[in-house]
A and B are shown apart, each in its own frame.
Chain A
């Protein structure tokens, strides 16, 4: 009992001590918290609103996915003259749960008037924060709900990454053709492997466009897809890629965010198309090419909108044209001859619309050509299709909302471990 009192007394005195310190800490100038209002009313020299931006990331810069956001964000912020820890903030390792809401509110406390989040599962929590802070703009990458929520300060953004994937697929197809010509395997054995995260539309759209790109060059190609059930799981991604290689896949690509698959490919000497940026430094002998979304154009666009007091698009889609969708340099050591030139040519055709990624003439579903498909564009618990997505002989991806909604299982792609 005596001991108890001692510790209790200690605990209380500690708390008081901390409380007293807080009083000083507040004026200590460690951050702009608390004075949310004043920072929002601050004006820049040319009369615009001063931007204070925050970015919430699922992982830290060790995940290629998050690194891609962090780099783009820093680039845009530095270009706009913002300073880290003062007028822009990055929070990493924020799980897809209540923690995201709390961190968004922390960002508001720090004086942010423009808050970004990078992970799909952050969406609901960002919406919650947006509802409670109508004067702050919230921008969510990869989300699906902005067009149905009806909030003025909540926005989605994505990019036509399926075009980038298609281009990467073209490079893969050329590599396959080269290997066939070299007699490494026959046309019928031309099988690719793909490590996916979830059986979710964004992933399906990604691997299908990659496959169609390869098929446009190497018509006999097929593809096995394995899912890890996680956006970031280095071990599972590595094991998944190894299983695909063991299963006879001649070339690997991925939609998962770690170095797992590229590492497995480098170890096995199998060509690899990575995602979210070049892995050439770590995998010089197998890295072929990589597509990624460049978020800097979006960040700059949103910051300018806040500065000028203009509305941010509910759904913003970046394109090949405005450099939101980028392809890394081709690794000449691995790629087939003439790959870079071919990619330039296909890129032009994609931009001017003469080539459509999801041209219904180029794929079939259960042996049939697709002439109508109701896509699930408005997110609901029943997963019901609500929007006709086939128009002018092609599946219209990222038109009705920014995030992809192509979720068809086309012929030639074999899903290994799913109950879809």
Chain B
């Protein structure tokens, strides 16, 4: 009888915490990262027999080893950040846009189609303007369709946007076959490789700088839009509580469609920057799942555009680093994924300790 009550008393209990001092929050995050590195170190040694310090060194080398690699890091950050920025307003509105991949892919299709179809017929400036318009329009269209059905028929936007990704992939696959070079090869290759029609201009001989600058500007604009504009406020209200929004006279359907158009347009820009700025090609894998990675980036940063720069850095760094270690140490690509997974697990785990605290139950002690 006595022991039974004793057992029922929990040893620990979890409670929500508020007003955590920033030093402590930083400490928790730091501890999380250190712990992640230690666990990864043990797993690396156990699984491969390699020295974890040299593995981490190689990860850093892979991202910062040469100035070109730093530019690559910035370029990859730019594209991922652009898509994440596109998703953030929709998420803030509690509209689960999982269609970033498809919307960006449609943007890429829009830009590539201009380069292929009218590349040699119009002057360079006009062509780039057409590409901008086409990619933004395509991205917006791909976001508008699910938004329209959500607003008017209450469809599930998660499934709808997700499915639109597959439609976009198939559509792009179709056009790749239409425009393939050489015949039957199922690939387009580099578009206008000799004429460079529709290729964005390089700034001072650097082909990545323009993309980085554009996304930097977009980051600030989205930050200002979400934090200081009336529209940004409206979408937060809709996200917090639809009844409240309705009560204060916000037209919810209007906000949903407007925000998704913004989301699609920014995804379209990401596709545009990839096709016009750096890659100059169209493949079904050109977005590379960044529409989904962007979900993580946006959530980790609580939809704050400035914080998203840091979370983007983290994810791109891990990606670049893990691909470098697989090449240098002759490991399977999956090993890099394992390391990335462990580190992300700990970083996400930090969130729990930032929001909750675990305390030893006092009642248990008293009973004893």
Q: Which residues of A approach B to under 8 Å, CB–CB?
A: 2-15, 18-19, 21-22, 24-26, 28-31, 33-34, 60, 84-85, 89-93, 95-98, 102, 105-106, 109-110, 120-121, 123-125, 127-128, 144, 197-201, 203-204, 229-230, 376, 379-381, 383, 407, 420
B68 and A109 contacting across the interface, CB-CB below 8 Å:
yes
Task: Assess A18 versus B64: contact at CB under 8 Å? Given A4-B307, A8-B310.
Answer: yes
Interface residue stretch chosen among B156-164, B244-252, B329-337: B329-337
A residues in contact with B281, CB < 8 Å? 97-98, 124
A residues in contact with B33, CB < 8 Å? 14
Extra A-B contacts (10), CB below 8 Å, given A30-B58, A383-B182, A407-B183: A25-B61, A28-B61, A30-B328, A98-B280, A105-B68, A109-B69, A121-B187, A121-B189, A197-B186, A200-B182
Which 3 pairs of residues, A with B, have the shortest CB-CB distance? A11-B310, A200-B184, A98-B279
B57 and A6 contacting across the interface, CB-CB below 8 Å:
no
- Smallest CB–CB gap between B205 and chain A, Å? 11
Closest to A204 in B: B184
Which listed residue, B283, B301, B302, B327, touches A91 by the CB 8 Å rule?
Answer: B327
A residues in contact with B311, CB < 8 Å? 11
B327 and A15 contacting across the interface, CB-CB below 8 Å:
no
Task: Assess A11 versus B330: contact at CB under 8 Å? Given A97-B286, A381-B181.
Answer: no
A residues in contact with B279, CB < 8 Å? 97-98
Which listed residue, B57, B63, B184, B190, touches A407 by the CB 8 Å rule?
Answer: B184
A33 and B187 contacting across the interface, CB-CB below 8 Å:
no
B60 and A6 contacting across the interface, CB-CB below 8 Å:
no
Within 8 A of A (CB), among B292-317: 301-302, 304, 306-307, 309-311, 313-314, 317
Is B169 engaged at the interface, CB distance under 8 Å to the other chain?
no
Task: Assess A199 versus B283: contact at CB under 8 Å? Given A6-B22, A22-B60.
Answer: no
**Residue from A13, A25, A85, A102 having most chain B Cβ neighbours under 10 A:** A25
Is B278 engaged at the interface, CB distance under 8 Å to the other chain?
yes
B190 and A124 contacting across the interface, CB-CB below 8 Å:
yes
A18 and B327 contacting across the interface, CB-CB below 8 Å:
no
B residues in contact with A7, CB < 8 Å? 301, 304, 307, 310
B60 and A33 contacting across the interface, CB-CB below 8 Å:
no
Distance, CA A375 to CA B318, complexed state (A): 47
Task: Assess A109 versus B66: contact at CB under 8 Å? Given A18-B317, A95-B285.
Answer: yes
A residues in contact with B310, CB < 8 Å? 7-8, 10-12, 14-15
Task: Assess A96 versus B187: contact at CB under 8 Å? Given A379-B181, A383-B182.
Answer: yes
Distance, CA A200 to CA B189, complexed state (A): 15
Task: Assess A379 versus B182: contact at CB under 8 Å? Given A30-B57, A30-B61, A98-B281.
Answer: yes
15 of the cross-chain contacts (CB-CB < 8 Å) are A8-B306, A21-B57, A28-B57, A31-B328, A33-B66, A85-B327, A92-B326, A92-B333, A95-B283, A97-B286, A110-B327, A124-B193, A127-B193, A197-B186, A379-B181
B residues in contact with A380, CB < 8 Å? 181-182
A60 and B306 contacting across the interface, CB-CB below 8 Å:
no
Distance, CA A376 to CA B60, complexed state (A): 46
Task: Assess A96 versus B65: contact at CB under 8 Å? Given A30-B54, A200-B185.
Answer: no
Q: Which residues of B approach A to under 8 Å, CB–CB?
A: 22, 25-26, 29, 33, 53-54, 56-58, 60-66, 68-69, 72, 173, 177, 181-187, 189-190, 193, 274, 278-281, 283, 285-286, 288, 301-302, 304, 306-307, 309-311, 313-314, 317, 323-324, 326-330, 332-333
**Residue from A24, A60, A230, A381 having most chain B Cβ neighbours under 10 A:** A381
A60 and B333 contacting across the interface, CB-CB below 8 Å:
yes
B25 and A6 contacting across the interface, CB-CB below 8 Å:
yes
B283 and A11 contacting across the interface, CB-CB below 8 Å:
no
A90 and B327 contacting across the interface, CB-CB below 8 Å:
yes
Closest to B285 in A: A95
Distance, CA A26 to CA B64, complexed state (A): 9
A21 and B307 contacting across the interface, CB-CB below 8 Å:
no
Distance, CA A383 to CA B173, complexed state (A): 20
B residues in contact with A24, CB < 8 Å? 57
Closest to B116 in A: A381
A22 and B189 contacting across the interface, CB-CB below 8 Å:
no
- Smallest CB–CB gap between B38 and chain A, Å? 16
Distance, CA A144 to CA B311, complexed state (A): 42
Task: Assess A31 versus B58: contact at CB under 8 Å? Given A22-B64, A200-B186.
Answer: yes
Task: Assess A6 versus B26: contact at CB under 8 Å? Given A19-B64, A123-B189.
Answer: yes
Distance, CA A91 to CA B332, complexed state (A): 9
A98 and B278 contacting across the interface, CB-CB below 8 Å:
yes
Distance, CA A110 to CA B327, complexed state (A): 10
**Residue from B61, B69, B306, B329 having most chain A Cβ neighbours under 10 A:** B61
Distance, CA A2 to CA B307, complexed state (A): 12
B330 and A90 contacting across the interface, CB-CB below 8 Å:
yes
Task: Assess A18 versus B60: contact at CB under 8 Å? Given A7-B304, A97-B281, A124-B189.
Answer: yes
Closest to A7 in B: B307
Closest to A24 in B: B57
Which listed residue, B26, B190, B283, touches A128 by the CB 8 Å rule?
Answer: B190
Distance, CA A346 to CA B301, complexed state (A): 67
- Smallest CB–CB gap between B353 and chain A, Å? 14
A residues in contact with B327, CB < 8 Å? 85, 89-91, 106, 110
B68 and A15 contacting across the interface, CB-CB below 8 Å:
no
B306 and A4 contacting across the interface, CB-CB below 8 Å:
yes
Distance, CA A15 to CA B62, complexed state (A): 15
A residues in contact with B183, CB < 8 Å? 199-201, 376, 383, 407
Closest to A18 in B: B60
B323 and A91 contacting across the interface, CB-CB below 8 Å:
yes
Distance, CA A19 to CA B73, complexed state (A): 13
B residues in contact with A6, CB < 8 Å? 22, 25-26
Distance, CA A91 to CA B324, complexed state (A): 8
B residues in contact with A230, CB < 8 Å? 186
- Smallest CB–CB gap between B345 and chain A, Å? 18
A residues in contact with B22, CB < 8 Å? 2, 5-6, 9
- Smallest CB–CB gap between A258 and chain B, Å? 16
Which listed residue, A26, A89, A102, A199, touches B72 by the CB 8 Å rule?
Answer: A102
Task: Assess A4 versus B304: contact at CB under 8 Å? Given A11-B313, A34-B66, A60-B333.
Answer: yes
Distance, CA A102 to CA B189, complexed state (A): 15
Task: Assess A198 versus B184: contact at CB under 8 Å? Given A30-B61, A92-B333.
Answer: yes
- Smallest CB–CB gap between A275 and chain B, Å? 18
- Smallest CB–CB gap between A321 and chain B, Å? 29
